[in-house]
């Protein structure tokens, strides 16, 4: 399989062809070997424009949605970004090309380990830290963030994430029930929140850690 050709076709047809215009996003997705982030048995479909299962009931988003979310964040290269829902690490890898630092949090420890392994083997781990934890709570030790990317659907935007978003910052998050979600682009200005809908989508639900029982 000519993976470089597959990436060029993805960028040309699925991304440019559907309105992605941020050249930095297009270049990042041309560079990142998506095939290295999907399960071995699904590698032939790595560049099909649809989500793929990665285990534990989770998916890697379709390439177009990854590009759209990254474009909505309007990253310039100096930012610190929080990613909620690291999954297999692909989206974090893309964000790592676009921003200075990425903190990617994943609820499922096995997937967090997978993301770390994938980022290491592709040489993308240098500015990306993967944390196993409850993404609905954000990651306070490195807050506030210039941008937050959420790859799981919430019934409403978690207050913790809004609080950890820097003033002037941007968040992209799917909001709504499983079958009918809005991809919202949220901005914080002078402490006030406004948002608009960038697309309609379907993500796996944003899960919270089970409460501790003593």
Could you write out the three-class secondary structure of 84-136?
A: ECCCCCHHHHHHHHHCCEEEEEECCHHHHHHHHHHHHHCCCCCCEEEEECCHH
Q: Does position 212 have pLDDT exceeding 80, yes or no? A: no
What confidence score (pLDDT) does residue 208 get? 67
Mean pLDDT computed over every residue of the chain: 93
Active site residues: 61
Taken in order of first residue, the domains within the chain and their CATH numbers are 3-201 (3.40.50.150)
What confidence score (pLDDT) does residue 159 get? 94
Q: The tokens of 145 are what?
A: 């963030």
What confidence score (pLDDT) does residue 209 get? 57
What confidence score (pLDDT) does residue 107 get? 95
pLDDT band per the 50, 70, 90 thresholds, residue 213: very low
C-alpha torsion 146→129→89→114, nearest 10: -160
What confidence score (pLDDT) does residue 179 get? 79
Containing H/E element for 31? helix 23-31
Digit-coded pLDDT (tens) for 120-152:
999 999 999 999 999 999 999 999 999 999 999
pTM metric for this prediction:
0.93
Average pLDDT over residues 4-24: 97
At how many degrees (to 10) do helices 109-121 and 90-98 cross?
A: 50
Q: Does position 211 have pLDDT exceeding 80, yes or no? A: no
Digit-coded pLDDT (tens) for 44-94:
999 999 999 999 989 999 999 999 999 999 999 999 999 999 999 999 999
């Amino acid at each position: 399989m000519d993976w470089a050709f597959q990436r060029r076709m993805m960028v040309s047809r699925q991304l440019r062809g559907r309105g992605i215009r941020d050249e930095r996003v297009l270049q990042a997705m041309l560079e990142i070997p998506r095939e290295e982030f999907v399960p071995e048995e699904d590698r032939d479909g790595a560049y099909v424009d649809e989500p793929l299962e990665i285990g534990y009931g989770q998916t890697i988003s379709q390439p177009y949605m990854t590009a759209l979310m990254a474009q909505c964040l309007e990253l310039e290269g100096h930012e610190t970004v929080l990613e909620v829902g690291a999954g297999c690490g692909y989206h974090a890898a893309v964000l790592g090309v676009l921003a200075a630092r990425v903190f990617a949090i994943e609820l499922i420890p096995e997937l967090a380990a997978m993301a770390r392994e994938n980022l290491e083997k592709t040489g993308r781990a240098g500015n990306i830290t993967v944390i196993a934890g409850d993404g609905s709570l954000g990651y306070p030790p490195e807050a506030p963030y210039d941008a937050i990317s959420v790859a799981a659907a919430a019934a409403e935007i978690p207050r913790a994430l809004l609080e950890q978003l820097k003033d002037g910052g941007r968040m992209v998050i799917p909001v709504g029930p499983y079958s009918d979600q809005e991809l919202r682009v949220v901005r914080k200005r002078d402490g006030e929140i406004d948002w608009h809908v960038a697309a309609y989508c379907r993500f796996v639900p944003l899960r919270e850690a089970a409460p501790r029982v003593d």
